[in-house]
């Protein structure tokens, strides 16, 4: 069996092993407080700031995001403009 196929199988097995270590279900957070209402949190004009880090954790770039958030029924629309 060629090394490339062996490595692909290894990475697939590793992915499933790592992803099976945790189980994420939204229901786990039902009783958490304070309650978060996304339609109130993401509404209107928002400003976000972020960073990009290299592998060791050094900040290599900073950016800001201008966001216009709106809702129609239960569907959110985020119009985002990133400035690096």
pLDDT computed for residue 22 by the predictor? 65
Mean pLDDT of 79-83: 93
> Which two three-digit tokens encode residue 84?
């690096």
The Cα–Cα gap between 3 and 1 comes to 7
Rounded distance between C-alpha atoms, residue 68 and residue 79, angstroms: 5
User: 28-75 pLDDT, tens per residue?
Assistant: 778 888 888 888 888 999 999 999 999 899 999 999 999 999 999 989
83, 64 contact by CB (below 8 A): yes
**pLDDT confidence band for 81 (50 / 70 / 90):** very high
Q: Per-residue pLDDT averaged across 25-29, rounded?
A: 76
Q: Could you tell me the pLDDT band of residue 1, with boundaries at 50, 70 and 90?
A: low
The pTM for the full model equals 0.56
CA distance linking residue 74 with residue 38, whole number of Å: 10
């Amino acid at each position: 069996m060629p090394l490339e196929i062996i490595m692909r199988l290894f990475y697939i097995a590793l992915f499933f092993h790592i992803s099976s270590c945790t189980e994420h279900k939204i229901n786990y957070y039902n009783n958490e407080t304070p309650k978060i209402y996304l339609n109130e949190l993401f509404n209107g004009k928002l400003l976000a700031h972020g960073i990009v880090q290299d592998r060791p954790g050094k900040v290599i770039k900073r950016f800001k995001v201008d966001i216009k958030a709106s809702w129609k029924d239960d569907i959110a629309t985020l119009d985002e403009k990133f400035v690096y």
